[in-house]
Amino acid sequence: MHDIEPHFRWRDKYESAKDHKSPFAGRRYSEFQYSQKIYNYYIHPQWDGFGSPTLYMKIIYVDYERGFAVFEFIGEWNDAVTNDIMFLKRDVVDEMTRHGIYKYILLCDNVLNFHGEDDDYYGEWWDDVKDDGGWIVMLNLLDHVEDEIKDTRLQQYINFGGIFNGVNWQALKPKLLFELTEKLLDEGVRYLGD
């Protein structure tokens, strides 16, 4: 896991540590000292902790004009034990929403497990963004993670699964990823589960 680095090809366009509006503004990173772990596995030092002991993230792009952000995640998303969504919502999303971000692309290629609890924070997040034409999209969920998210009934707040899996986002520039995501949503394609 220590070899999995947050997507770095967009760093010439955006760095959360250099964005004074970012919850991670001013952070300094080591390229060589590995100190953060998910269970017994060290992870790359470029990932940002936000309160969860098993889930880390990186804000890899923000466009304040268009009102969207791209978050990349690694680890185990655990709402049941460590209430990861509470930390994400309170310490990251609320800060971004204050600055006009209402559209969220969550890159979940490296989310290895999901353990749901209730949907209160997801519902609150949806309420915060929907009146401004906002949305929340999870891209590239592993099959078992998608099933776990469906079991928690988060499809009423988050778009995921189906056409939102298998997106080769790494080959796109951030604005093209945003436009592709909007196109999928505008065509009325929303995965509602079974």
In order of 78, 113, 114, 116, 146, the CA distances from 83 in angstroms are: 6, 14, 11, 9, 18
**Domains along the chain?**
16-186 (3.30.750.24)
- Rounded to an integer, what distance in angstroms lies between the CA atom of residue 41 and that of residue 87? 22
Look up tokens 């590995």; give the residue. Answer: 34
Residues 48-70 pLDDT 10s: 999 999 999 999 999 999 999 99
- Rounded to an integer, what distance in angstroms lies between the CA atom of residue 187 and that of residue 66? 19
For position 30, what pLDDT does the model report? 74
State the alpha helices, DSSP H only, in the chain. 84-88, 94-98, 120-130, 143-151, 174-186
Average pLDDT (88-109) is: 98
Q: What is the DSSP secondary structure assignment for residue 51, as one 8-state letter?
A: S
What confidence tier does 191 reach under pLDDT thresholds 50, 70, 90?
very low
Q: What is the DSSP secondary structure assignment for residue 168, as one 8-state letter?
A: -
Residues 135-145 pLDDT 10s: 999 999 999 99
What confidence tier does 1 reach under pLDDT thresholds 50, 70, 90?
low
- Rounded to an integer, what distance in angstroms lies between the CA atom of residue 136 and that of residue 62? 14
CB neighbours (10 Å) of residue 146? 23
104 forms beta bridges with: 69, 136
Q: Is the Cβ–Cβ distance between 45 and 36 less than 8 Å? A: yes
What confidence tier does 188 reach under pLDDT thresholds 50, 70, 90?
low
Residues 118-158 pLDDT 10s: 999 999 999 999 999 999 999 999 999 999 999 999 999 99
Token output for 159 = 């778009």
